[in-house]
Structure 1
């Protein structure tokens, strides 16, 4: 979201009152459910719709470092802009779009983070079978979108 707003800066330098683009008419598409920081930016910019594939819960199981588990729905629903006329309406939220494809990307992209500590933690949590199932479901011949060295 930050990069998107960098590409469309406010022509007046006033991001809140005149963002330079009518974000209420825009849809943000992303492979993973927005994190708390991105969710705050989405509310701040008054984005009209957000569509994602993988849930935060799923991404946490892939082996990537810990993530804040504040859900975008909770972030958006708790948004209060005191003394402001924004947000005029909360964004439409649609998760799980192309979920399997996005889950596959995350599972493979974060393969390198699944180290001994990851496997031990998953075993301690009783999730050994889950990891085996994900490895079978999403074979990672190569890591998507990464150049081979």
Structure 2
């Protein structure tokens, strides 16, 4: 968990959008080989939610994620209606999925998830895709 917190802290000084995307991708790629990363993110989620029994590293990770998120939002790279708890939930879900999917699917899923978007764009209905197209 210390390694994940250190990576987030080191990137928090870099430019907003690029640093955020680099950390998100790094965390998910690391989780592909170790479920401990998703567990570390769960501890950061506890810290972001105000839980008391959280390690110092969990708190540091939550704070560093907050800095990365704010800088990315200020740069216009990430939607402004997402907070640290939602970010951590997305990271945990992506990290858990990364344990089960191959690198090509993981890369495409991250590209979809991290594509710039707005709340208005997310609310628009889209043409449904046939089931066979979803799993290609």
TM bucket (normalised to shorter chain) is: under 0.3
- TM (norm. structure 2) is 0.26
Of Structure 1 and Structure 2, the greater helix share is in 2
- TM (norm. structure 1) is 0.25
Of Structure 1 and Structure 2, the greater strand share is in 1
Report 1 or 2 for greater relative contact order, CA contacts < 8 Å, sequence distance ≥ 6. 2
